[in-house]
Structure 1
Amino acid sequence: MNKINSFKSDDIEIESTQRVFQGFFKIDLYRFNHALFAGGRSQTIQREIFERGHAVAVLPYDPKTRQVLLIEQIRIGALATKDNPWLLECIAGMADGSEDYPDVVRKEAKEEAGLELGELEFMLSYLSSPGGTTERLYLYLAQTDLSQVNVGGLYGLDEEGEDIKVHVMGVDEALARLASGEIDNAATVISLQWLALNEQRLQQQWNKE
């Protein structure tokens, strides 16, 4: 399939960048211009970009029982549009500059669910909101024995203000919660949809091993 993009990175001129906020997260002010579809160059554009680094997420999946593990925790940003800001999510975390994403995934699974992951299957990566942040998320599915999971167990790091509860449910139940709108955070939505598209292949692959 041929790419349809008209331009590439060389068609952007970064005039300047300036760090305008330095805290738990960072914000940079970009001034740039770019090539126009109609020809010529744009005027100088200013955009504040949220710099938080890249992140990983993993959906633990037991091919024998067709169950997945999700975690529940408070997300204050959801309060603006949801009555209940305690969300069902994939295990996730910031990469903190590491490019060994599988290693980060395994560390986060241990911290957030007390979980030892089996074989990892890279699903995809995506830009979370490229109009306002450079963040890219890397998603994995993990072949995992969920029979010994501490369902309802509480995890997370106190120093990071984490209060996490573990849930295990069937794939069909997770997809029903997705269809109802209960699950509505991007990484979890994408991961469950990817699993729905690829589960038959994974069942054939992993249940033969």
Structure 2
Amino acid sequence: MTDKTAGVDLPDRRGRTGLDRTGRDLTGNPRVKVRDVRLLSSHWYVERTTTFDFQHADGTWSTQERETHDRGNGATVLLYDTDRETVLLTRQFRYPVYVNGHPDGMLVETPGGLLDEEDEHPEAAVRREVVEETGHTIGEIQHVFDIYMSPGSVTERVSFYAAPYGPSTRTHEGGGLEEEGEDIELVELPFRRALEMIRSGEIADAKTIMLLQWAALDGPFGAGRDGASRDGA
């Protein structure tokens, strides 16, 4: 009798099967031919080893192997108030940064999170996350860009947004979901102070830095507009 594997033949804890098929049908790059996909883990996120043939620029082929970490895609948003020249960020404990040298693991970030399902639209996800984390129900929202955050091993693509906030958009308590172990505090900062915190290292989260610098260059506090960022990031 052949042993069956959760995530392959049997549903894993999230009800998924066939996770070893991902990538086998890729045809977009004729220089890449996927030979084998092996599922390493599907506890919550998915770890795979993929073996593929790759054609180099000189025409020769080599067989290569890569591990990928699939945690799904995500979305994040910069909340800004141009009248008061402030941004609304969050602070929460992040064990991965704590174990990798961050003094206390309390990271200052833009709100956001993972898409609940593969077919969930990033804008819907980020609106939900903003309510859960900050208690604000945002209206107008701007799509900024979509970024692969760590393309060497992580498949995640993050959709970046920006939206105005203010006293009138506060509709819920915020603070995150207790059942998910979240304990999120709000950090409202003058925009200039947020830029200073990038320079000082107090803000060390990539997505947050990217959105703050976008806001200073092309966004709500950009050159030629009323705002605090004309001094640059």
TM-score (norm 1): 0.86
Give the CA RMSD over aligned residues: 2.0
Amino acid at match of 2:149: S
CA distance in 1 between counterparts of 2:46 and 2:161 reads 27
Retained in 2: the 8 A contact 1:154–1:163? no
- CA–CA distance in 1 between the matches of 2:224 and 2:73? 27
Question: How many matched pairs?
Answer: 194
Residue aligning to 2:189: 169
- Pick the aligned partner of 1:121 from 142, 155, 166: 142
Which residue, 187, 206, 209 being the options, matches 1:186? 206
- CA gap of 1:134–1:148, structure 2 versus 1, over 3 A, is closer
Please give the per-residue CA displacement for 1:164-187, whole angstroms capped at 9, x wherever unaligned. Answer: 000111110000001111111111
Report deviation, 1:29. 1.1
Cα distance change of structure 1 residues 123 and 94 upon mapping to structure 2, 3 Å threshold:
same
Q: Normalized per residue, which structure has more strand?
A: 1
**Structure 2 counterpart SS, 1:115:** coil
**For the Cα contact (< 8 Å) 1:67–1:169, is it kept in 2?**
yes
SS at match of 2:97: helix
Paired amino acid for 1:113: T
Larger Rg: 2
1:133 to 154, 157, 162: 154
Change (3 A) 1:154 1:140: closer
Q: What CA deviation, in whole Å up to 9, does each residue of 1:20-75 have, x standing for no partner?
A: 10102110111012111222112x21111101110000110112111100000000
Which residue pairs with 2:216 in the alignment?
Answer: 196
Q: Write the mapping of 1:6-17 to structure 2, written as runs, cut at 5 A.
A: 9-17=29-37
5+ unaligned residues in a row in structure 1: which ranges? Answer: 1-7, 205-209
Do residues 69 (structure 1) and 91 (structure 2) align?
A: no
1:143 maps to a residue whose letter is: P
CA contact (8 A) 1:20 1:27 kept: yes
Determine the C-alpha separation between the residues in 2 that align with 1:171 and 1:56: 21
Following the alignment from structure 2 to structure 1, what is the Cα–Cα distance between the partners of residues 164 and 30?
Answer: 41
Give 1:200 shift: 3.1
Question: What letter is aligned with 1:157?
Answer: L
Q: Which sections of structure 2, spanning at least 5 residues, go unmatched?
A: 1-27, 227-233
